[in-house]
Amino acid sequence: MTSIRRRTLTLIIGLMLAGLTVLSLFNLHDSNHEIAEVYDAQLAQNARLLQGVMRMPLPGQEHADLYRAFNSALAEAVPKGDGHPYERKLAFQVWNTKGEVLVHTASAPSFSTPPIQPGFSDVEDLNKRHWRAFILEDKQNGLRIWVGERGDVRADLVDRIVRHTLWPNVIGSLVLAAMIWLAIGWGLKPLANMAATLRARHSGSLEPLQLTPLPSELEPMQAALNRMLAQIQEVLGRERRFIADAAHEMRTPLAVLRVHAQNLLEAGTEQERRESLEFLIAGVDRTSRLVNQLLTMARLEPEAKAPANKRIDLGEIVRNSLVQLTPWLLSKHLELAFDVSAPSFNALTDAAAIDIALNNLITNAASFSPEQGVIGVQLTEADGFYHLSVEDQGPGIDEADRARLFERFYSRGNPQGAGLGLTIVHTIATRLGGRITLENRVEGGLRATLSIPAG
């Protein structure tokens, strides 16, 4: 498992090290250059100082005495307590035009051939030691002044400078890394808090998350989680309610069946036996219808599947459904009439859902129709909707009832109804992007209209 903290730290330390390395390299290069400049200037200055002393106007003999005094002084001039270790690594010597050494320091190197080129040079002495040197030629006084410095002095200095800056850098980096580690941990604390809150929750808890304080980065996460929790809660609640209602609803028809079976057992005459059997069959039919409707509801409710929309002629779908329903309506001594306002109703919709809805509306109409009643079905188009109306000649609806009509298991005093029909139609209408409206007709009876988007 990857850790955000470790990933971030690795990246930051990598960047830091790369940056430090580049800076150190620049530093090293710069130090080298500056040291060279300063030291070279010192060499030249020393040479000129020496030249000033050497060309003092003195009578002939005194020059020789001066050189002697110089030489003996320089020979004794070895570093003492108050000196500096680098002193030994500085040297100079002076030749005359004939190439004879006039004065020199004890540390002065010997050369196979004395260097003659004026200016700065890098040379090697007989002991293979490297010198940085400056030669000043004084033709007027016949002097060639050589001032040199051991190369390792500079190398040593640069080495020290680098060492002195490197260690603080390394130690500083380690301290900084530790601090960054803590800082990232502090920055990620809300995430850790969220994880802890989630862990501490009861596994079955569906309460929405309430993190305080909630950083803006975690807001969408909390919102998504809460949306999901709410959905789960709703689905669970619906399922629980549905099972309870369904079980409750099954109890009555089963009790009725039991009564009829009991009567059958106690029937004295053939006539009574027959009657009880017919009641029993009707009761079984009612229970089957209830079970079928429950199954339809269960299929419709979860809305897991997208409706199987196809381009169809709504008129043909309705007519085919009515063909199937007509024999049943005729057996109940009811009339049926279907009117359309146009030859075809082209729609992109779910034919099976329309069939279920129409079946439920017709069943409702049939339940409330008087004997010899007419059930009228109309298909019209208006305001971008196709309106499929089913009219009966029954009692219509009370305004007081209206609100409860779409409630599950509410049947307006219909002994045959399970109270699921309108709930099913309502669910279907919503799913097809339409609606269901109920209205009492002026001439009496109810008009139920399923409206779905046209085209």
Partner 1 sequence: MLIEHAGISLNPGTQQVSYLGQPVILTPKEYQLLHELLSPPGRVMTRDHLTQLLYGWNEEAESNTLEVHIHHLRKKFSTDLIRTIRGVGYLVEERR
- Residue of 37, 339, 398, 401 that binds partner 1 (CB under 8 A): 339
Query: Which one of 45-53, 136-144, 323-331, 384-392 is the stretch in contact with partner 1 (CB under 8 A)?
Result: 323-331
Q: Report the first-to-last Cα separation within the chain, whole angstroms.
A: 53
277: Cβ contacts below 8 Å, ≥ 6 apart: 264
Least distance in angstroms from the C-beta of 319 to partner 1: 6
- What is the SS3 assignment for 288-310? HHHHHHHHHHHHHCCCCCCCCCE
Please report whether residue 88 would count as binding partner 1 according to CB under 8 A: no
Query: Which one of 143-151, 220-228, 247-255, 336-344 is the stretch in contact with partner 1 (CB under 8 A)?
Result: 336-344
Count the Cβ atoms, other than its own, within 10 Å of residue 27. Answer: 15
- Residue of 337, 342, 348, 382 that binds partner 1 (CB under 8 A): 337
Dist. CA 29–CA 35, nearest whole Å? 10
Please report whether residue 327 would count as binding partner 1 according to CB under 8 A: yes
**SS3 label, residue 126:** coil
**SS3 label, residue 84:** coil
Least distance in angstroms from the C-beta of 313 to partner 1: 11
- Residue of 39, 181, 242, 338 that binds partner 1 (CB under 8 A): 338
Please report whether residue 312 would count as binding partner 1 according to CB under 8 A: no
Please report whether residue 332 would count as binding partner 1 according to CB under 8 A: no
Query: Which one of 98-106, 283-291, 329-337, 446-454 is the stretch in contact with partner 1 (CB under 8 A)?
Result: 329-337
408 or 447: whose CB is closer to partner 1? 447
Query: Which one of 115-123, 208-216, 331-339, 409-417 is the stretch in contact with partner 1 (CB under 8 A)?
Result: 331-339
Please report whether residue 75 would count as binding partner 1 according to CB under 8 A: no
264 or 340: whose CB is closer to partner 1? 340
Please report whether residue 323 would count as binding partner 1 according to CB under 8 A: yes
Which conformational region is residue 309 in: left (phi greater than 0), alpha (psi within -120 to 50 degrees), or beta? beta
387: Cβ contacts below 8 Å, ≥ 6 apart: 378, 379, 380, 381, 449, 450, 451
Binding mask 140-179 for partner 1 (x = CB under 8 A): ----------------------------------------
- Residue of 161, 282, 322, 438 that binds partner 1 (CB under 8 A): 322
Q: Indicate the pairing of strand 446-453 with strand 385-391.
A: antiparallel
Least distance in angstroms from the C-beta of 384 to partner 1: 24
Please report whether residue 319 would count as binding partner 1 according to CB under 8 A: yes
Dist. CA 299–CA 424, nearest whole Å? 10
Query: Which one of 19-27, 129-137, 321-329, 386-394 is the stretch in contact with partner 1 (CB under 8 A)?
Result: 321-329
- Residue of 43, 353, 377, 448 that binds partner 1 (CB under 8 A): 377
Dist. CA 391–CA 377, nearest whole Å? 6
- Residue of 340, 352, 397, 438 that binds partner 1 (CB under 8 A): 340
Please report whether residue 342 would count as binding partner 1 according to CB under 8 A: no
Binding-site residue total for partner 1 (CB under 8 A)? 12
435, 272 Cβ separation under 8 angstroms:
no
Q: How far is CA 154 from CA 29, 43, 233, in A?
A: 13, 13, 79
9 or 334: whose CB is closer to partner 1? 334
249 or 391: whose CB is closer to partner 1? 391
What part of residues 417-446 is at the interface with partner 1 (CB under 8 A)? Answer: none
Count the Cβ atoms, other than its own, within 10 Å of residue 127. Answer: 7
Please report whether residue 333 would count as binding partner 1 according to CB under 8 A: no
Query: Which one of 40-48, 133-141, 337-345, 412-420 is the stretch in contact with partner 1 (CB under 8 A)?
Result: 337-345
Strand partners, 147: 92, 134
Least distance in angstroms from the C-beta of 363 to partner 1: 17
Task: Give 25's Cβ-side CA count (13 Å radius).
Answer: 5
Dist. CA 130–CA 273, nearest whole Å? 133
Q: What angle do CA 157, 162, 163 make, to 5 degrees?
A: 95
**H helices present in 312-376, as ranges:** 314-331, 351-368
Structural element, H or E, at residue 50? helix 4-54
Binding positions for partner 1, rule: CB under 8 A: 319, 322-323, 326-327, 330, 336-340, 377
